[in-house]
Amino acid sequence: MHTRIQASVIGATGYAGAALCSLLERHGGVELTGRYASGRVDAASVTAPAGARLDVERLDIEAMLASRPGCVFLATPNEVSADLAPRLIASGIRVIDLSGAFRLKQAEAYPRWYGFDHPAPALLEESVYGLTEWCDGSLDSARLVANPGCYATSALMA
């Protein structure tokens, strides 16, 4: 019997988060247990790019942690992801971050490229750049996956 991964999405009210929720709802290996606004937006019912209506809750981090998802997707701004990821990882939750918060390995590069000082430089070395063709099998055991952006993906895959 196939066990489904329980996953939550933080940032489900944005375009990427809503699209991700729509994809995860149809994925046979995932049970989407939570859809949360990142805090910049109140809870809402949003329309995903595929046209489905999604009910989104305002993020209550303690309640989300208590639900014990196996994985949390962060579809949040860079600074929000950089603040949330350490707490989720410390709670034993695997994180897949769609922002740029963990894509670079050098903390000193973040002010120049992303406009903020990185609050969790120790996690930068641990994060796995999630382009499967470039990460040499290290995704299987990764606690933190830095999802590559669309421009980088198109350039690297060419």
Catalytic site positions = 150
CA distance linking residue 73 with residue 94, whole number of Å: 9
